[in-house]
A = this chain, B = another copy of it.
Amino acid sequence: MERSSSVLVVGGTGYLGKRFVRASLTAGHRTYVLHRPEIGMDIDKAQMLLSHKKEGAILVHGSFGDHQSLVDAVRNADVVICPISGVHHRSHEILLQLKLVDAIKEAGNVKRFIPSEFGSDPLYNMQHCTNPAKVAFEDKMAVRKAIEEAGIPFTYILGNCTMGYFVSGLCQPGTLFPSRDSVCLHGDGNVKAIFVEEDDVAAYTIKCVDDPRTLNTTLVIRPPENTLSQREVVGMYIGKELKKTSISKEGLLASMRDQPLAIQVGMGHYDNVFHDGCLCLELENQHLEATELYPEIQYTRVQEYLKAFV
């Protein structure tokens, strides 16, 4: 067996990032976490860095405002994973990664870069998604272009709908807890989506870091038992029938107007998934599927996930 890789996680205090750090340590990789001075007085992030350190990670200083510090940081790593925030209502730092691409190019030692994706397919959605949600995909594509032009080996990972954001609210925007009484369906609620638990996104990602099959391609995480419509998700929630209302595509788009941009982007993703059915597409030939590649991972089922709320 080859020695394990050195992995640098950039964004390791974030919602997904903390899971990548843990998954990398669990897999036995030498794991570095970028310690950005920008965290300032955010004591939760500071203590999360310390907790990563306690678990065995190595903190390395570096700032997106200091090119040389990024170069020095990536010199430690065979693999750079950057699950930096690209969710507008938290923060959208996707284009910061262009600086990371520059640093990786200069350092020259990185065998694989896994940029911040972990959602639906930006290549498809930058063409088909409504404005302003489209910007999220355009930014991810700008990073892909920079990576490929720099000749950096990569893997793009499509995690589809993370359960925390989509299953917790029964696929309704604006809530992270399900009501026990009622739910509003998107149209007839029958459009299929794909749900992946956040720790599973991290587990599949870490599996692929030194897998030659996933080099320079796109890995899609499509757990077959989590390919479900909103109506099916609702049906798994509790043993009683919820009162159902419905919102049309037009109604959803109308409700977005006058909302802050960050909210519009988020609701645009809901439209994209639950009205347009952007996750119903067949896999493209060159895409690999994670649950087929790594059947040993016991992924979390939606039904199991929903038990947390009961």
Chain A interface residues (CB < 8 Å from chain B): 15, 35, 39-41, 43-44, 46-47, 50, 53-54, 89-90, 164-165, 168, 174, 176-177, 308-309
Alpha-carbon gap, A183 to B191, bound state (A): 60
The answer, among B44, B50, B54, B308, for a CB contact under 8 Å with A50, is B308
- Listed A/B pairs (20) with beta-carbon separation below 8 Å: A15-B43, A15-B44, A35-B177, A39-B176, A41-B89, A41-B174, A41-B176, A43-B90, A43-B164, A43-B165, A43-B176, A44-B44, A46-B164, A46-B168, A46-B177, A47-B164, A50-B308, A50-B309, A53-B308, A54-B308
Tell me the bound Cα distance from A35 to B175 in angstroms: 13
Q: Are B176 and A46 closer than 8 Å at their CB atoms? A: yes
The CA of A183 and the CA of B35, in the complex, are separated in Å by 20
Residue of B nearest to A165 (CB): B43
- CA–CA, A161 and B50, complex, Å: 19
Q: Considering the complex, give the chain B residue whose CB is closest to the CB of A266.
A: B41
> When A and B form their complex, which 6 residue pairs have the shortest distance between CB atoms, in order from nearest?
A46-B176, A50-B308, A43-B164, A43-B176, A41-B89, A15-B43
| Nearest residue, chain B, Cβ from A45 | B176
Bound CA span A174–B35, Å: 16
**Chain B contacts of A309 at CB under 8 A?**
50
* Nearest neighbor of A15 in chain B, beta-carbon distance: B43
5 extra interface residue pairs, beta carbon distance < 8 Å, beyond A39-B176, A50-B308, A54-B308: A41-B176, A43-B165, A44-B44, A46-B176, A47-B164
Q: Chain B contacts of A165 at CB under 8 A?
A: 43
Residues of B within 8 A of A177 (CB): 35, 46
On chain B, the residues within 8 Å of A53 by CB distance are 308
How far apart sit A241 and B85, CA to CA, in the bound complex (Å)?
39
- Please, how many angstroms separate the alpha-carbon atoms of A171 and B47 in the complex? 16
